[in-house]
Amino acid sequence: MVSRRLLVVVTLVTTAVSFFMLGMFHARTDEAYELATYDAKLDAIRAEIRSDRGRARHVDAEARGTSGELFGGDPSGAAGAASRAALIDQVKQELQAEMGLVPVQLVRERRSSFVELYSEDSLGKTNYGTAGYLGNGFFLTVKHAVVALGDEDTREGGRKIVAIKVLYRGKEVPATLVDAGDATAEVHSGDWAVIKTRALDLPALHPNTSFAYDFAEPIVRLGNDYSKGIIVSTGYVGQRMANGLVTALTDGHPGVSGGGVLDRQGDLVGIPIGRMQGDYRFSFILPMRSEMLRKVHAAPAQP
């Protein structure tokens, strides 16, 4: 009896162990299958990524090849660099035009065309202003800087201008008055003058008498601010006045009269001649006119 029960117990234990081992075997087999499937999927994903990268490189090579950098093009990439430089330059020009900017290098070049102007009167007083070089020794400035206006020079013992000088490379160069407008007071449409020195080694300005002075057009002003040397200021065109002058928002400090008003191409389109009383930003501009250049154009060229 005992032997039969023992046999039954042994049989049950053996069966349980067998089922357990069989379950473990199936579990391991399923795990191995899942791992193999996961590895296969991972390999497929890696292969797809490599394939996509290969296609991207191929497309990039074709795109670069059309610019002359590959497939027999310029191996140094000079053509591509030149193309990029041209594109950058075009973008800069478009931004300058859209925002009303004037290239800094252009303003620096024009700066050397303007000089400090000084005049002495019969009362022992020295006045200062600005003059722009027109070439062949001629300078354009304001009349009130080189002529005693109104009744100053008509009454007995009145004020007269006895000496005109321009500052050239740190030295004073004598000048003479050769032409002037019909102004009898400051801030007048005839408040201009042309003076002459010996021919100087300065770049001549390019006068433009057809500038439209459209509203809000950006301009650049160069002048001898406070007798501290030529300084640049920017501004915008305001309105045309009945007397032929133009208003503008640009610095009108003492000494800038006779300086230059430039457009975005660097042409001389006018001269600053005054400002609103008590307001250094509200300036008056005298536009360039052909009569201002009549003595300059009539003068024979000098070597």
Q: Are residues 133 and 199 in the same domain?
A: yes
Q: Are residues 54 and 124 in the same domain?
A: no
Residue range 120-147: average pLDDT? 96
Please tell me the total count of domains within the chain. Answer: 2
Instruction: Note the pLDDT tens digit of each residue in 167-185.
Output: 999 999 999 999 999 999 9
- 231, part of any domain: no
How much is the pLDDT for 97? Answer: 57
Asked if the model's pLDDT at residue 7 lies above 60, the reply is yes
Residue range 213-237: average pLDDT? 94
Q: Are residues 198 and 128 in the same domain?
A: yes
Q: Are residues 128 and 197 in the same domain?
A: yes
Among 164, 185, 204, the domain boundary falls at 204
Contacts of 270 (CB under 8 A, 6+ apart): 211, 213, 246, 260, 261, 285, 286, 287, 288
Among 174, 204, 234, the domain boundary falls at 204
Tell me the pTM. Answer: 0.68
Domain range for residue 27? 2-66
How much is the pLDDT for 5? Answer: 74
SS3 category, 135: strand
- 276, part of any domain: no
Residue range 218-222: average pLDDT? 95
- 102, part of any domain: no
- 152, part of any domain: yes
Rounded distance between C-alpha atoms, residue 84 and residue 99, angstroms: 22
Phi–psi pair at 207, nearest 5 degrees: -65, 145
How much is the pLDDT for 61? Answer: 46
How much is the pLDDT for 72? Answer: 47
How much is the pLDDT for 71? Answer: 43
**pLDDT: which is higher, 25 or 159:** 159
SS3 category, 235: strand
Q: Are residues 131 and 194 in the same domain?
A: yes
- 96, part of any domain: no
Q: Are residues 60 and 128 in the same domain?
A: no
CATH of the domain at 147: 2.40.10
Rounded distance between C-alpha atoms, residue 40 and residue 211, angstroms: 77
Among 181, 204, 227, the domain boundary falls at 204
- 122, part of any domain: yes
Residue range 14-18: average pLDDT? 70
Instruction: Note the pLDDT tens digit of each residue in 226-257.
Output: 999 999 999 999 999 999 999 998 888 999 99
Report the Cα 175 to chain-centroid distance in Å: 35
- 199, part of any domain: yes
- 250, part of any domain: no
One-letter amino acid identity for 242? A
Count of alpha carbons within 13 angstroms of residue 226, beta-carbon side: 3
Contacts of 95 (CB under 8 A, 6+ apart): 101
Asked if the model's pLDDT at residue 67 lies above 70, the reply is no
